[in-house]
Amino acid sequence: MSNTTIRFCPLGEETIATMIPMMEAFYAIDQYPIDPVRTQQMLHTFLQEETLGKAWLIMDNAEAIGYTILTFVWSFEYGGRIAFLDELYISDKARGKGAGGASVAFIKTQQKALDLKIIYLEIEPHNAPARTLYQKYGFLAHTRELMILK
């Protein structure tokens, strides 16, 4: 990105209000439900419990243009702590200008810094640009299927 400086600022109590509208915009892309009040409460809990994960605002100079969240899990199969790249959002106006690549590169540095054995992520089948971006930075399609229990 020309004339910009992408940086990653750890989410703090004082920046939760900045993150909520971006989360709403991200969830709206695929029409996922989001309750801003509950989400704010969850972010407060997330920040108080360091074992849950890490979150960062993605900044372009002084403007928040996105955010990313890693959540932690312990895995015997992989020999320690692993992470789930739970969310990575770049605002519409910042997409296609290098912020996504900078964000995935940053996440890769966090894998080493946080001693994460692997990082999982999920993408919607229709999101070919995200798939291409993640593959460019070394993420591979997994041979296992993702299942959930609600």
What does the pLDDT look like over 9-31, one tens digit per residue?
Answer: 999 999 999 999 999 999 999 99
Question: The pTM is what?
Answer: 0.93
Topology adopted by domain 6-136: Aminopeptidase (3.40.630)
Percent of the chain with pLDDT over 90: 93
Q: How confident is the model at residue 2 (pLDDT cuts 50, 70, 90)?
A: very low
Nearest CA among 146, 119, 102 for reference residue 53: 119
Cα dihedral 131, 144, 79, 89, rounded to 10, equals 30
User: Which residues contact residue 4 at a Cβ distance below 8 angstroms, ignoring those fewer than 6 apart?
Assistant: 60, 61, 97
- Per-residue model confidence as pLDDT tens digits over 78-127: 999 999 999 999 999 999 999 999 999 999 999 999 999 999 999 999 99
